[in-house]
């Protein structure tokens, strides 16, 4: 082999290794790219116990139950499926039944989502595009959902401590 052929072989091999590494990283991050998963998506993907993810949807009316030592249980639904959620801590001020919520945590062996962070939205008329599309498909869409939120700005979410998400303390 000449020097030029060796150099081209090394460059070609390096590019192949780099392409393989990029493919592996993108494949590993494929499920993490979504901001949150709905209860229907969790059921379809058969998410196993212990795998951390974000769960988003509407808090089912009548499902909120408060227990001892700040323990709270409620159900999150997206119109097709419901998922029970257990959380221990102070809920955001804007948290209430019928409102949108994003919880971060993992499923336990019984199929209950154990949340360690709960986020509530600011404006009751704003909802993520995925949830709005799902409501439209099911026929639950109301024309006044987009009325107040059409000002062009999307309200931020608040953390369980009441701070806007991304705020500097």
- Which contiguous run of DSSP H or E holds residue 59? strand 52-59
pLDDT in tens, 57-99: 999 999 999 989 899 999 999 888 899 999 999 998 888 888 8
Confidence of residue 12 (pLDDT cuts 50, 70, 90): very high
- 155: β partners: none
Section 144-158 average pLDDT: 45
Q: Is the pLDDT of residue 32 over 70?
A: no
Give me the pLDDT at residue 148, please: 44
φ/ψ (deg, to 5) at 96:
-160, 165
- What is d(CA 28, CA 26) in angstroms, rounded to the nearest whole number? 5
What percentage of the chain exceeds 70 in pLDDT?
A: 76
């Amino acid at each position: 082999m000449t020097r030029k052929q060796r150099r081209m072989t090394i460059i070609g091999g390096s590019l192949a290794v780099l392409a393989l590494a990029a493919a592996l990283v993108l494949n590993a991050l494929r499920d993490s790219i979504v901001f949150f998963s709905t209860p229907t998506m969790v059921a379809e993907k058969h998410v196993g116990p212990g795998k951390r993810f974000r769960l988003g949807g509407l808090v089912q009316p009548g499902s909120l139950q408060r227990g001892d030592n700040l323990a709270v249980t409620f159900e999150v639904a997206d119109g097709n499926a419901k998922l029970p959620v257990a959380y221990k801590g102070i809920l955001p001020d804007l948290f209430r039944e019928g409102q949108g919520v994003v919880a971060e945590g993992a499923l336990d062996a019984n199929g209950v989502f154990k949340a360690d962070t709960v986020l509530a939205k600011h404006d009751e008329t704003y909802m993520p595009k995925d949830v709005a599309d799902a409501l439209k498909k099911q026929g639950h869409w109301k024309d006044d959902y987009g009325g107040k939120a059409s000002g062009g700005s999307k309200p931020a979410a608040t953390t369980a401590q009441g701070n806007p998400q991304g705020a500097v303390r």
